[in-house]
Chains A and B, each alone.
Chain A
Amino acid sequence: MTGVMLSTLLEETGIDPKAKWLVAEGADAPALSRSVPIAKALDDAMIALYQNGERLMPGNGYPLRLLLPGWEGNMNVKWLRRLKLVEAPAMTYYESRTYAPILPNGKAYQFYFLQEVKSFITHPSPGLMLKAPGFYEISGIAYSGNGRISKVMVSADGGQSWAQAALHEPVLSKAFTRFRVPWSWNGGPAVLAKPRMGRGGQRAAHARPDHRVRGQTAKSAAGHRLPEPALQRRDQLGDQQRGGGEPCLRIS
């Protein structure tokens, strides 16, 4: 993304000391609006005009869009038509209701904003046929709204053992980081587990298997509900199929 730092614009306008939030509003049909703390606006928020070297595409918010690195995508308000500085959050529909996940005890998180460390495996991917045992590359994306990815660990045996993946440079703060690790598939059922990642030497606490390549007899975990905050959707489960006497792995 390329654009103008919001802090530059706010420096030009000045900020009343009473203003603690801003309401960002789009020019779409429902005039989507979200409240943003001033601290984020002055930190790394951008009014984005370009993406990947060309003007924003219409569907991505042309002519300009708010960009809040590392925060909920919905807050990157498209077709930005207005920023209004206010003293308190507007408690818009999307922050009051939609982006307020309920916890098991009935309370709900509010102002979720930050997207913490997450990852997903893109290869092997759903629909891919692995025709024979041998070497394959496990590859995927890791990212963190807190900063730079320092390490990604991958398991191909359901989390019993882990290997450190290579990171594709450049590794940038709050940006998608591609990882890859070689994998020797022996033809049997395998569970590709969610990478464990650390930032600044710290290892993330929540490492859960999320990408399974399973035998036909394995029980489906599709109905399993994660403990709090239960925001992560389970990845689709894989199927192992055999045909023509040769091991054949299909991930669906």
Chain B
Amino acid sequence: MSTHKLTAALSIFAVNFGCLAAGPNLGKSIDAAEIAAWDISILPDGTGLPPGSGTPAQGAPVYAQKCAACHGENAKARRMPRWSAAPSSPAAIDTVKTIANFWPYSTTLFDFIRRAMAVQQPRTLTNDEVYALTAYLLALNKLIGESEAMNAQTLPKVRMPNRDGFIPRFPDKL
């Protein structure tokens, strides 16, 4: 990507925010449609979550087809970042981090599965598939019920057990 385009990418947010900079007016604004495919970051409050929905039952076959080869049946494989284990808070410095005992926000699941999975074909899952996989993994970890659907409204409301288990290392840098 050229600096020209980067400046333009920055510009669009300035425009969105309603700010006009006093400068040499380098670059140009990017059309919203042009940037839509890149606009995949999800915030913990659910900002950026797309339309769509999925349940654990819908996620199970997708998981079996597209995830289990690496992550193992029921996400028990040890050789990859683990998705499922007995829920608990980290007890010691060498605790294996899992969704249930570590991840502070449920939205990170959707964000990362959509942007990075499956590893050989990232960003090929549909939004419904990503919601379904997210629901499947949350249900495996007993963080939601077996029949709960995940969507832009329900996902940010899932309270992760270790939400308050973090200390900012350098608060003055934030």
Q: Do the two chains belong together in a single complex? A: yes
What is the interface residue range for chain A against chain B? 35 or more
- Give the residues from 81 to 125 in chain B that come closer than 8 angstroms, CB to CB, to chain A: 81, 89-95, 97, 102-105, 107-108, 111-112, 115-116, 119, 122-123
- Report how far A110 CA is from B20 CA in the complex, Å: 34
Q: Is the interface of B mostly helix, strand, loop or mixed?
A: loop
Closest to B96 in A: A102
What is the interface residue range for chain B against chain A? 35 or more
A31 adjacent to B115 (CB under 8 Å):
yes
| A233 vs chain B, min Cβ distance (A) | 14
A97 adjacent to B102 (CB under 8 Å):
yes
At the interface, yes or no: A54 with Cβ under 8 Å from chain B? no
Give the residue of A81, A86, A87, A108 whose beta carbon is less than 8 angstroms from that of B166: A108
Give the residue of A83, A113, A114 whose beta carbon is less than 8 angstroms from that of B6: A83
Complex contacts, B108 vs chain A, CB 8 Å = 91-93, 96-97
Give the residue of B3, B24, B26, B105 whose beta carbon is less than 8 angstroms from that of A91: B105
**Given A90-B111, A108-B166, A112-B169, also A11-B21 (CB < 8 A):** yes
Closest to B35 in A: A82
A86 adjacent to B43 (CB under 8 Å):
yes
At the interface, yes or no: A29 with Cβ under 8 Å from chain B? yes
**Given A103-B93, A230-B93, also A83-B103 (CB < 8 A):** no
Where the two chains meet, the residues of B that have a C-beta atom closer than 8 Å to any C-beta of A are 1-3, 6-7, 9-11, 13-14, 17-21, 23-24, 26-27, 38-45, 47, 81, 89-95, 97, 102-105, 107-108, 111-112, 115-116, 119, 122-123, 165-170, 173-174
